[in-house]
Amino acid sequence: MSSLLGRLAVGLLLAAGQLTTAYDLDPDSPDSVKSVSKDMAADLVSFYNGNQPGNTPGLLPDPYYWWEAGAMMGTLIDYWYYTGDDTYNDLTSQALLFQVGETNDYMPRNQTRTEGNDDQGFWGLSVMSAAEYKFPDPPADQPQWLALAQAVFNTQAARWDTEHCNGGLRWQIFTWNNGYDYKNSISQACFFALGARLALYTGNQSYADWADKTWDWMIATKLINTKNWAVYDGAGIETNCTVLTPYQFSYNVGGMILGAAAMYNMTESQTWKTRLDNLLEGSKVFFTGPNNNIMSEVACESVNTCNVDEHSFKAYLTRWLTMMIKWAPHTYDVIHPYLRASSVAAAKQCKGGANKRMCGLIWYDGKYDNTTGVGQQMAALEITMSNLILNSSSPVTADTGGTSVGDPGGGGDDIGRNQPKGPDYKPITGADKFGAAVLTLLAIATVVVAMGFIFLDETSPQGPVAQFKGFWSSASAAVATLAAGGGFAAAAAAGRRRSEKEKGIRINEKSILNNGESESSSKNPFSEPVMVTPDSIRHSVVSQRRLSNMPIGWPHNPSVRNSVVVAESSAAASSEDQRQR
């Protein structure tokens, strides 16, 4: 008897050992999807403490940047929209309203050192979803979702820069930030999608005109490749955007798909349908695994180089592919099998952490990859919830039940401003004056020295003297910030920021190239290597181009100094897009 019990116990233990999967997701059962989503959402929110006393609403702790908190609030809006569970609504509203900044356009002073158009864009897209999904409106004395989205749009439209590359948004908003000389696809994609969605929601043609213009610019610069519908990372203004940074990240094509779907819904035109269908085909490069149907951040996953930002990109590709289905229902049959298979794979690998159900980054091999984070958790939650798309209400517009109040002129004096106002710290009071003066002098010295390191780029084709000319204008901006009350804390923040920005994992271009070569044998005819084909690259003396999602200051790692650029062939000019017009 006792030996039988013993054997049973051993058997059970063994079974438990095999049964290490926390989630048994049935993608066809809304109850199963909701139950898994509930746990994944709780685990996502466990990374956030901005709602706790003494903390700042809308900020994630280190190492997450400001923009990712805005993106995460978008995921929590999605969570409520797909599941109906309002557990996190208050936390979400609090964060979205705390970070609006003084002109209600997501340009809070504290973020002037990191905020690019893409960062602001992510917050803008989150409040746009709040308006479209009828997320509970804020009290009347608070900024409203639609008005916030419009203010983000207005400030960005004013930054459209025709001086270089015949248009486009620069990555950075403020002249003194590293990256002001780069026009990246995700900034354009956020602006494009926001414009398209505002056009659809409000019926105002001005937004649609901007979306058209952004699309045309992406095609003209070849950041969208009209042969294979790859969307590349960006281009620098020093070459008039003729040299592209060839990496493909999933959120770039995702953002363009989102905007194209909204434009298609609004115009019902064949032109937008063709563009959307082409991009959708191009996005299949991000599905790998034995059946090429499991979503993967291919540029970095297989070589283990994804940084903190990149851990979250699949969340946005998923979110935007899923929203696309509502605006372009014919795409459901194309994309649903991919989302469904990816959701099962994603849930299967969530076995990490103390609770044995935290999700890792890699979905395609059924193994937990020993990573956890906001990005991993967001992506797994979004792909799980995508199974509920047919059970969810359609996004509204102002004419079909939308209640969010707009402000077409929002953005205030942030419109056209490219110098920072300075951070949000308490102004120095009279009693502090002497000490403050001393500290400020010290701070200026510290900043000036620190900025020398930040702005002197050893790989720049400019000599140090030319660089220092630019540096002095940056330094004077820093002094202006200090004069605005930044004081010592600003200098400390500058120092901290530099080291934070260097924490990110760097892309190892050697392994990427090898990866690219092996991928070129892929069976999918559309999937040209995600990075670059070996014969389309050349080593160049042009300075190392930072990836726009890379930490600012990247790379300071000598082993990755060799530059890789696309040699653009002008023969590629015969674009499908032009033919179809």
Ligand X SMILES: *[C@@H]1O[C@H](CO)[C@@H](O)[C@H](O)[C@H]1NC(C)=O
The answer to whether the peptide bond before residue 555 is cis (omega within 30 degrees of 0) is yes
Q: Which is nearer to ligand X, 204 or 292 (CB)?
A: 204
Does 443 engage in binding with ligand X (CB under 6 A)? no
How far apart are CB 164 and ligand X at their closest, in Å?
7
DSSP state of 484: I
Structure tokens at 464: 């140090």
Q: Say how many CA atoms lie within 13 Å of 224 toward its Cβ.
A: 30
Binding-site member from 240, 291, 394, 524 for ligand X (CB under 6 A): 240
Q: Which is nearer to ligand X, 240 or 270 (CB)?
A: 240
Q: Which is nearer to ligand X, 109 or 348 (CB)?
A: 109
CB 125 within 8 A of CB 190: yes
Q: Which is nearer to ligand X, 381 or 447 (CB)?
A: 447
CB 530 within 8 A of CB 285: yes
Binding-site member from 165, 335, 378, 389 for ligand X (CB under 6 A): 165
Helix (H) or strand (E) holding 263: helix 250-267
How far apart are CB 206 and ligand X at their closest, in Å?
4
Does 462 engage in binding with ligand X (CB under 6 A)? no
The separation between the first and the last C-alpha atoms of the chain, rounded to the nearest angstrom, is 82
Contacts of 433 (CB under 8 A, 6+ apart): none
Structure tokens at 379: 């992506």
Q: Which is nearer to ligand X, 142 or 240 (CB)?
A: 240
27-66 mask for ligand X (x: CB under 6 A)?
-----------------------------x----------
How far apart are CB 47 and ligand X at their closest, in Å?
18
Does 220 engage in binding with ligand X (CB under 6 A)? yes
Q: Which is nearer to ligand X, 94 or 206 (CB)?
A: 206
361, amino acid identity = L
How far is the C-alpha of 572 from the C-alpha of 423, rounded, in Å? 46
CA dihedral sign of residues 200, 202, 204, 209 = negative
Does 107 engage in binding with ligand X (CB under 6 A)? no
Does 154 engage in binding with ligand X (CB under 6 A)? yes
Q: Which is nearer to ligand X, 129 or 155 (CB)?
A: 155
Beta bridge partners of 539: 564
Beta bridge partners of 540: 563
- Nearest-CA neighbor of 189 among 124, 253, 241, 243? 253
How far apart are CB 259 and ligand X at their closest, in Å?
16
Q: What is the footprint of ligand X within residues 372-431 (CB under 6 A)? A: 408, 424-425
Q: Which is nearer to ligand X, 513 or 542 (CB)?
A: 542
Q: Which is nearer to ligand X, 57 or 179 (CB)?
A: 57
Structure tokens at 446: 């510290």
How far apart are CB 147 and ligand X at their closest, in Å?
12
Q: What is the CA radius of gyration of the chain?
A: 24
500-539 mask for ligand X (x: CB under 6 A)?
----------------------------------------
Does 239 engage in binding with ligand X (CB under 6 A)? no
How far is the C-alpha of 123 from the C-alpha of 148, rounded, in Å? 9
DSSP string covering 220-249, please?
HTTSB-TTT--B--EEEGGGTT-SEE----
Does 166 engage in binding with ligand X (CB under 6 A)? yes
CA distances from 94 to 67, 84, 90, 140 (A): 16, 19, 6, 14
How far apart are CB 372 and ligand X at their closest, in Å?
25
Burial level of 541, CB count in 10 A (0-12/13-18/19+)? exposed
Does 206 engage in binding with ligand X (CB under 6 A)? yes
How far apart are CB 217 and ligand X at their closest, in Å?
8
- Number of helices followed by number of strands (H, E) in the chain: 18, 7
Q: Which is nearer to ligand X, 77 or 218 (CB)?
A: 218
CB 548 within 8 A of CB 179: yes
Does 208 engage in binding with ligand X (CB under 6 A)? no
Q: Which is nearer to ligand X, 98 or 526 (CB)?
A: 98
CA dihedral sign of residues 37, 43, 44, 45 = positive
Does 110 engage in binding with ligand X (CB under 6 A)? yes
66-105 mask for ligand X (x: CB under 6 A)?
--------------------------------xx------
How far is the C-alpha of 113 from the C-alpha of 93, rounded, in Å? 25
Q: What is the footprint of ligand X within residues 280-319 (CB under 6 A)? A: none
Does 271 engage in binding with ligand X (CB under 6 A)? no
Q: Which is nearer to ligand X, 165 or 362 (CB)?
A: 165
Structure tokens at 12: 């059970």
Binding-site member from 35, 46, 175, 204 for ligand X (CB under 6 A): 204
Residues that bind ligand X (CB under 6 A): 56, 98-99, 108, 110, 154, 165-166, 204, 206, 220, 240, 408, 424-425
